[in-house]
Amino acid sequence: MSAPTWTSSDSRFDVSYEGVGCGRLDKLMDAHAVAAQATSLLRALEGKRRLLVLTHTNPDPDSIGSALGLRHLAREKLGMETDLALTGRIMRAENKAMVSELGIEMIPITELNLDDYDCLALVDTQPGFGHTDLPEGRAMDIVIDHHVPPETPLGLPSPSFSDIRTDIGATSSMVASYMMELGIEIPADVGTALLYGVKTDTADLSRNVSDLDEKVYYHLIGRVDRRKLHAITQPDLPLEYFQALRDALNNIRVFGPVVLCSLGKVMNAEIVAEVADLFLRLDSTRTVYCGGLVGNTYHISVRTEPSGRDAYYLIRAAVGDEGSFGGHGSIAGGSIQLPDDGQRTLKRLERRLERNILQSQGLEDMPLSGLGDT
Ligand SMILES: [Mn+2]
């Protein structure tokens, strides 16, 4: 494949992606869009000294992959130094394995001096989202995301580069496609991170998937470190995971096609998401709502079959104005701050959530069952 360069004005016409059967028209349309975006991204970076890439709180693989990809792009094209900022924690055993296997350093934002950076990029989220803490008084120079923009945008200056495409399955696909367009070789560690980002956000190209995600996926698949990818997808799991799983199995509430599970107090929020993922596999289940309390924060994860209603609207109906939430397609998450972590407060919230959920699903009269009821 002869890689086009961004300076060539007609380069967009000879872009070709390997290994994907797709119509010529599709190829040209995608190439147009990607070439234009890659060019204006470079313009936004040019002349800057040092880049800081930020993402949402508790970064997921897609945000980590796209942040790492953007750093590689800035270094390869412009020789720029880049740091990756961390807000919250790296959660889930897979995500921890991702950063350790691939040697990805994310620096807690509280340890950074933002004056050291003359360019700020935000990936896999947007200013104004509840799960995104941004430094006060600093506007983003670059925003790359695939989520539906927030209903009430912050009154900040517009970024000099903004690429928000809600039809794309993963931000990692967007960042990888700029590199493909710019002819940047993707080394194994960066390729593995980007591919894992695409894999997780699209469930291995089975949901929220666009032509671009497919093209990127097949481009990257030949550039991954397979041993590391395996170590990331099959990490060792702590004892608490299995303890929470035991509690989850005891507490599951099945209302026909809808599964509710409140885990009570849990060690960390990732178990809530993992249990939600797991219960979606229960036969005949279309939607799962799972929650758990960490400190005074009640975390909620929603999972739904791809053909069902968008998870964003489901979590909005459940949480309402009690907390913050986000998500789209078949995945959503949110949290509610409680005044205390007492059992009474928790039980009251659980009852409120259950009522909201059953009402919004039209399941008020559906009989309840658990596991193994005979
Ligand atoms: Mn994403």
**Same domain flag for 227 and 251:** no
Ligand 1 centroid–CA 146 distance in Å is 7
Q: In terms of domains, do 252 and 353 share one?
A: yes
Selected residue with higher pLDDT from 341 and 331 = 341
Query: For the sheet containing 297-304, what is the strand order?
Result: 253-255, 258-265, 287-294, 297-304, 331-337, 324-328
Confidence of residue 67 (pLDDT cuts 50, 70, 90): very high
Phi, psi of 25 (to 5 degrees): -60, -45
Q: Separation of 104 CA from ligand 1 center, angstroms?
A: 18
Residues 353 and 225 in one domain: no
Q: Do strands 331-337 and 297-304 pair parallel, antiparallel, or not at all (unpaired)?
A: antiparallel
Together in a domain, 228 and 269:
no
Q: Across residues 46-66, what is the average pLDDT?
A: 96
Q: What is the pLDDT of residues 333-374, one digit of tens each?
A: 999 999 999 999 999 999 999 999 999 999 999 999 887 654
pLDDT at 207 (0 to 100): 82
Position 22 confidence tier, pLDDT thresholds 50, 70, 90? very low
pLDDT at 241: 86
For residue 73, how far is its CA from the centre of ligand 1 (angstroms)?
19
Query: Within this chain, do residues 109 and 156 fall inside the same structural domain, yes or no?
Result: yes
Q: How many angstroms is it from 87 CA to the middle of ligand 1?
A: 16
362 CA to centre of ligand 1 in angstroms? 30
Model pLDDT, residue 4:
27
Q: What is the pLDDT of residue 28?
A: 43
Q: What spacing in Å lies between the alpha carbon of 344 and ligand 1's midpoint?
A: 36
Instruction: Using a pLDDT cut of 70, give the percent of the chain over it.
Output: 90
Q: Residue with structure tokens 């991702």?
A: 98
Nearest CA-CA partner of 148 in 162, 166, 131, 136: 166
Using the mean position of ligand 1's atoms as its centre, give its distance from the Cα of residue 340 in Å: 32
Q: Which of 112-121, 222-231, 317-326 has the lowest mean pLDDT?
A: 317-326
Of 204, 233, 262, the last residue of a domain is 233
Q: What number is the average pLDDT over the span 66-92? A: 96
Q: Which one of 195-209, 218-232, 261-275 scores highest in mean pLDDT?
A: 218-232
pLDDT in tens, 209-241: 999 999 999 999 999 999 999 999 999 988 888
At 246, the amino acid letter reads: R
Q: What is the pLDDT of residues 132-191, one digit of tens each?
A: 889 888 999 999 999 988 877 667 788 999 999 999 999 999 999 999 999 999 999 999
As a whole number, mean pLDDT of residues 274-279 equals 92
- Residue 319: which domain range? 241-373
- pTM reported for the whole predicted model: 0.77
- Could you tell me if 220 and 314 lie in one domain? no
93 phi/psi in degrees, rounded to 5: -60, -35
Average pLDDT, the chain: 88
Check whether residue 147 and residue 245 sit in a common domain.
no
Average pLDDT over residues 3-31: 33
Q: Give dist(CA 237, CA 247) in Å, integer.
A: 16
Q: Which of 169, 201, 233 is the last residue of a domain?
A: 233
Find the 119 Cα to ligand 1 centroid distance in Å: 22
**Same domain for 31 and 127:** yes
71 alpha carbon – ligand 1 mean position (Å) = 17
| 113: pLDDT strictly greater than 60 | yes
Compute the distance from residue 218 Cα to the ligand 1 centre, in Å.
Answer: 18
Task: With beta carbons less than 8 A apart as the criterion, state whether 88 and 57 touch.
Answer: yes
Confidence at 88, pLDDT banded by 50, 70, 90: very high
Q: Where among 233, 251, 268 does a domain terminate? A: 233
Domain count, the chain: 2
Question: Does residue 166 sit in the same domain as residue 30?
Answer: yes
Whether 274 and 209 map to the same domain: the answer is: no
Residues 210 and 271 in one domain: no
Are 263 and 283 found together in one domain?
Answer: yes
Residue 17 CA to ligand 1 centre (angstroms): 22
Q: Supply the CATH number for residue 331's domain.
A: 3.10.310.40
Q: Using 50, 70 and 90 to split pLDDT, how confident is the model at 31? A: low
Question: Where residue 212 sits, what CATH number does that domain have?
Answer: 3.90.1640.10
**What spacing in Å lies between the alpha carbon of 131 and ligand 1's midpoint?**
13
